[in-house]
Amino acid sequence: MIKHLKVLEGKAQEARIFLEKSNALNNDFLPIKTEGYILWPLNFEVRGEIVVCEGVKSKRNSRDYRQLLPSEIRGLAPRSFDMFGDIGIIRIPDECLEYSEIIAKALLESHLNLKKVAIDKGVKGEYRIRQLQMIIGEPDFVSLHRENGFEFKLDISKVYFSPRLSMERSRIYGMTEPREEVLDAFAGVCPFSVSLASKGCKVTAVDSNPDSEFWAHENFRRNKILKSSYDFFCSKIEEVLPELKLFDRIIMNSPTTSLNYLQLISNKLNVGGVIHLYTIIENDIDLNIGDHLPSNFDCVFERVVHPYSPSSSLVVFDIVKAKNNVQKTNQ
């Protein structure tokens, strides 16, 4: 028995693309068609209607690229990788580096939409830039990424972007009401901002990377977002924050520094408003987010978004501002 995502038949291909990009689609099994719905087999549970039933084993070769690798490195090669349009990005452990080209060729063979493969050597610097080394393909990192009905064009060697947050962007889109005032505090190329502005929110996006500003404006234009629906400030958040008004919703997607800015940014949240804070937590540490919150703030939701490293995970906290005379509940 395996878990399946149940979607309307008319939404089947959109769901398939989303599941493939998040590495959630289990290619060892076939999709099941039933009464106007498609059941997509899953590697792990995702947001949506989940059905547990007998899986239909695929007679085709699985798209797990590791099956194409020599047996001596198959168990060492990482299972997960990121896809940015036609570029595959993979972190290869030191013990596999000498087999990088073999791994890259296996990725291309198993995912025909990929044209290039690069090694991700980690995120560094103030702008959270991936350190990339192209293994196969021309050293051009400009990519067109599609998710949830939107398009995002970017140079992944110069700006921060995570396709693994696709489900989070969909979740927050579903929670948000039109006409909300939204602050995207570490906006990058504005995937959160674009989706929320398309829903009728007024978005204020802030990022200090000039390359992010360039691609953010391109992505607003590409997705037909009116200029009156957003403002973009190319600045550090602490420098522009005093000039900004209060917001109904604040997105803090700077996993290595968000907690450092929480006290400062929380002052710009309306009563009843929500902060979505993303941070990296070591797996052996039980973080009590309540210890970092002002007295009139409460954490109402938390979940692990995805593994960040073998020893840590990316976690999201939804934090609500209550009335000043309401005491914070015990976590």
- Grouped pLDDT means (10 residues each) for the chain, 331 residues: 90 80 77 90 85 79 79 88 93 92 94 92 89 95 92 96 92 96 98 98 98 98 97 98 97 95 97 97 88 93 87 94 60 40
Report the C-alpha dihedral over residues 11, 17, 18, 23, rounded to 10 degrees.
140
Query: Would the pTM of this model clear 0.85, i.e. be above it?
Result: no
Phi, psi of 324 (to 5 degrees): -60, -30
**Ordered DSSP codes for 34-94:** ETTEEEEEBSS--SSEEEEE--EE-SSPPS-GGGGS-HHHHTTS-S--EEETTEEEE---G
Q: Is 210 helix (H, G, I), strand (E, B) or coil?
A: helix
Residue 331, pLDDT score: 40
Residue 328, pLDDT score: 46
Six token digits for residue 303: 């979940």
What is the C-alpha to C-alpha distance for residues 17 and 37, in angstroms, rounded to an integer? 16
Domains and CATH numbers, the chain: 2-57 (3.30.70.2580), 65-140 (3.30.300.110), 162-321 (3.40.50.150)
Q: Is 318 helix (H, G, I), strand (E, B) or coil?
A: strand
Q: Counting beta carbons within 10 angstroms of the beta carbon of residue 173, is it exposed (0 to 12), middle (13 to 18) or buried (19 or more)?
A: middle
Q: Counting beta carbons within 10 angstroms of the beta carbon of residue 51, is it exposed (0 to 12), middle (13 to 18) or buried (19 or more)?
A: middle
- Please give the C-alpha separations between residue 190 and each of 5, 48, 69, 198, 310, in angstroms, as whole numbers: 28, 24, 37, 12, 28
What is the C-alpha to C-alpha distance for residues 147 and 54, in angstroms, rounded to an integer? 29
Amino acid at the residue 231: D
Residue 311, pLDDT score: 87
Pairing verdict, β 312-321 and 82-84: unpaired
Instruction: Using the CB atoms, write b or e for 124-157: b if 16+ within 10 Å.
Output: eeebbbbebebbbbeeebebebebeebebebbbb
Q: Is 202 helix (H, G, I), strand (E, B) or coil?
A: strand
Residue 61, pLDDT score: 45
Helical H runs in 156-312? 166-175, 191-198, 210-222, 237-240, 258-266
Residue 211, pLDDT score: 98
Residue 286, pLDDT score: 83
Six token digits for residue 174: 């579903």
147: left (phi over 0), alpha (psi -120 to 50) or beta: beta
- Say if CB 242 and CB 232 are below 8 A apart: no
